[in-house]
Amino acid sequence: MGTAPRHVAGGLQNNIWAQDVQPMPMSMPYPYYPPPHQMFYPMQQQQWGPQPIMPAQNPTIPPRSVKGPAISTWLQYCDSLPIRQGENFVELARKFGEQGYRTIDQLTSSRVSIKNLLGWLGIGKGTADYIIQYADEDMVLVRNGKFTMDLDIPGDN
C-alpha cells in the first residue's frame, strides 16, 4: 500500500513510512553509551583464629548523652563573656531549677524549644533564643572535650 507523491511548493514530497526509514550513520561505535566500569575493590584478607565479638549497635537507641555543666554556673559564665553580656542570665537560674532543669544539655535545641521556654520561664523570645543557641554551641564543645569555664564560683561542683 503505497502513497502517491504529492506536490509541495519546492518539489515532490513522499509520505515516509517506518519501513522506509534508513538508520542514520552513527558517529559513535555504539548506539548507546556503554555502562560505566564497575569498581572492583580488593577483598579483605581472611583472618584466621578467633574473631572478637562486636556488639551490634541498635540504631533506635541514641548514644548515651553527655551531661553538661550545671545551669546556674553556666548562666554566670555566660554573663561573664563579653560577647554574651547584656541579658543577665543568672537571674533565670531559680526559674530553671523550679522547672527541673539542672544541666545545659537539657537546654539544647534538640530537647527544648523557644516556645516552651517562653511559657515555662516567662522570658522573651530573644532571651530564649540566646539560651538555646549558647547551650547548643557549648554542648558541641563539651562533647568534643574542649569546653572549659574559667570561673572560680564557690559552692557549685
Q: Report pLDDT digits (tens) over 116-153.
A: 999 888 899 999 999 999 999 999 999 988 988 875 54
Residue of 49, 70, 68, 83 whose CA lies nearest to 136: 68
For residue 114, what are the domain limits?
A: 71-143
Residue 105 in any domain: the answer is yes
Residue 81 in any domain: the answer is yes
The Cα–Cα gap between 53 and 65 comes to 25
3-state secondary structure (DSSP) of residue 7: strand
Residue 115 in any domain: the answer is yes
Report, as an integer, the average pLDDT of 66-93: 90
The DSSP element (H or E) to which 135 belongs, if any, is helix 125-143
DSSP summary character for residue 70: B
Residue 4 in any domain: the answer is no
**pLDDT score of 109 more than 70:** yes
Phi, psi of 8 (to 5 degrees): -130, 150
Beta strands in the chain (DSSP E): 6-8, 11-13
Burial environment of residue 79 by CB neighbours within 10 A (0 to 12, 13 to 18, 19 or more): middle
The total number of structural domains that make up the chain: 1
pTM: 0.55
Report, as an integer, the average pLDDT of 49-73: 69
Residue 100 in any domain: the answer is yes
